[in-house]
Amino acid sequence: MMSKYKDWQPIETAPKNLNQLMLCCGNYICIGRWDGHWSEWEDSSSGLVLRPQPDHWMNMPELPNNELD
């Protein structure tokens, strides 16, 4: 049986670069990235350190194709 959470990875395996990732922080999901200066995960839209810190991550999904048929 395939898990519906197969794309989520433990936060310990997340790349710590400037790429934006989907982050799971307890009961909510946000787009964030690693802040090397503070050595913590931050919300990409606000720049604030995430509390609680995320426990899982996944790559951003591809954007939809906006071409008209």
Express each pLDDT in 22-43 by its tens digit: 999 988 999 999 999 989 999 9
What are the backbone angles phi and psi of residue 11, rounded to the nearest 5°?
Answer: -60, -25
Q: In terms of Cα–Cα distance, which of 27, 21, 6 is closest to 59? A: 21
- Name the average pLDDT for the chain: 88
According to the model, what pLDDT value does residue 2 have?
44
User: pLDDT category, 5, cuts 50, 70, 90?
Assistant: low
Note the pTM of the prediction, 2 decimals: 0.81
pLDDT at 57 over 60: yes
